[in-house]
Chains A and B, each alone.
Chain A
Amino acid sequence: MSNLDYSKLSGKNPDCPSELLLDRFHGGELPSAESAAVERHSAQCPACTARLALRQRGAAAFPALRLDEVADKCVRLDAQRRVCRTYRSSVWQRFAERLSATRRVHLSWIAAAATAAAAIFVALLPQLRHDGGIDGTGIHMKGGPRLHVVRERSGAVAELADGELVRAGDRLQFRVDLPADAEVMVVGVESSGAIYPCYPLGASGSTAARAGAGIALAGAVELDDSAGDEYLHLVVCPRHFALHNLSAPARGAMAVAGGDGCRSDSIHIVKEVP
């Protein structure tokens, strides 16, 4: 039987600060007592002095690192998210303005109207779902687009059921059933309401896909360690649509601004606390 000598693996003395501790020291994230201790140690440890010097050189220490490319992509992605956020907040702002204008109306009228609206909503739900205007109750429309989410964890692969528990590090891949050629996008909606693109990964809009069953979409999404409910939506439209056209007006629901003929299918996942 062989043993790996773990003490030689890290290349650091046991009393030297860990990589993370040194990074936090360099980033000014340590409380003063801990910071002083790392500073004292580094002053008398040549190895840690060299480790700190490397951090101070920043990107110059790594010729293969191309930070500009990363920054450009992230700035574009961030701009898309801001547009998306602005769109959502403008919807709420318009709602608040209308509510303010109706303040003089007696509250009971508002309550009655809300109740009636809820009843109509429930009655029309199948039709709305058929139009692709709303989705997310875990019901799949017969003959409609269908999202299958496949989870890979530690080499084991399984298709997720609605409401299934997932955890940080799980990798999700998507398969879709499309009744006709269409523009498609898979997005995730966090519990905060933030929408992020899952397919095409990091994209700002939909991509064309051919009709078929069990079509595997390229790429995979790895779940991070934020816990809570999330919804994954497959959005299918006859024409190209942008990420900022999408909004989540209610829990589990997905709407496409100006998306006539759009349809969607969704799955609810629950991210465990790590």
Chain B
Amino acid sequence: MPDVDISELVRRYGPMVFRRARYLLGNDAEAQDAVQEVFVRLVNKIDSFRAESQPSTWLYRITTNYCLNLIRDRGRRRELLEQHATSTEDDPDPGAPDPELMALMRRLLAAADPLQAQAAIYVHVDGMSHAEAAALLNVSRRTVGNLLERFEKWARRNLEGLVPNNAAGGSNYTK
């Protein structure tokens, strides 16, 4: 990429970043902020971005890290994350995760180990193979497996107190 037209990059990749931030954060306003932050970082790191042969992958990684940090901040502020869940009726994204399960997942991500949280997002939320997640995390496939195993074990221990009352009897949880 010899030189880049920033407006063109925003126009081309902005919707992808917004869509991703929207389903990770469950909130349009915060997703808009995420788009702004991610592209400001792109401008600040324009040299490394120019050398990137897979712009989508680069933006995915940056967006994921930004959103995870925000989710952790919210966790520290003890916000009620369920309130941020995007309504399914107005969600145009057929690939978006189940809103109720995603709200619960956010509460787990807020307290999980950051690397385990990234692996869990890539595989469980994005539907990536272990090989895809390994490439994005720059670790081996075996490490991705180990990270997921540790995340799931930790999540099992912590889910008991997180399951919302209205979801406790739902078919998506097993007791």
Interface residues of A, Cβ cutoff 8 Å to B: 1-6, 8-12, 14, 16-24, 27, 29, 47, 50-51, 54-55, 57-59, 61-62, 64-67, 69-71, 73-75, 77-78, 81, 153-155, 168-169, 171, 192, 194, 196, 202, 222, 224-226, 273-274
Contacts and interface: CB of A to CB of B under 8 A. Distances in A.
B76 interface: yes
10 contacts: A4-B101, A4-B104, A18-B127, A23-B60, A27-B13, A54-B94, A55-B16, A62-B18, A74-B10, A224-B41
A62 B125 contact: no
B76 to A, nearest CB: 7
Shortest 9 CB-CB distances between A and B: which pairs? Answer: A64-B28, A2-B159, A18-B128, A50-B94, A10-B127, A6-B124, A71-B10, A196-B44, A12-B127
A274 B125 CA distance: 22
A11 B96 contact: yes
A67 B132 contact: no
Interface string B86-101: 0000001111111001
A22 B128 CA distance: 11
B56 A27 contact: yes
A10 B128 CA distance: 10
Nearest to B93: A54
B95 A11 contact: yes
Contacts of A81: 43-44, 46
A66 B15 CA distance: 10
Contacts of B125: 9-10
Interface of B: 6-7, 10-16, 18-20, 22, 28-29, 31-32, 35-36, 39-48, 53-57, 60-62, 65-66, 68-69, 72, 76, 92-98, 101-102, 104-105, 108, 113-114, 122, 124-129, 132, 136-138, 152, 155-157, 159-160, 163, 172-175
B156 A19 contact: no
B43 A78 contact: yes
Contacts of A154: 72, 113-114
Interface of A is mostly: mixed
B43 A77 contact: yes
Contact of B95 (A19, A168, A222, A226): A19
Contact of A222 (B65, B97, B159): B65
Nearest to A66: B32
Contacts of B46: 78, 81
Given A67-B14, A69-B36, A224-B41, A5 B174 contact: yes
Contact of B16 (A11, A23, A70, A222): A23
A37 to B, nearest CB: 13
Given A8-B172, A71-B14, 14 more contacts: A3-B173, A11-B97, A24-B56, A27-B56, A29-B55, A54-B19, A54-B95, A61-B92, A70-B36, A71-B10, A74-B42, A78-B43, A81-B43, A154-B72
Contacts of B128: 18-21
B137 to A, nearest CB: 8
B42 A9 contact: no
Contact of A78 (B6, B28, B29): B6
A169 to B, nearest CB: 5
Nearest to B118: A169
Contacts of B19: 54, 61-62
A171 B69 contact: yes
A20 B125 CA distance: 11
B114 A2 contact: no
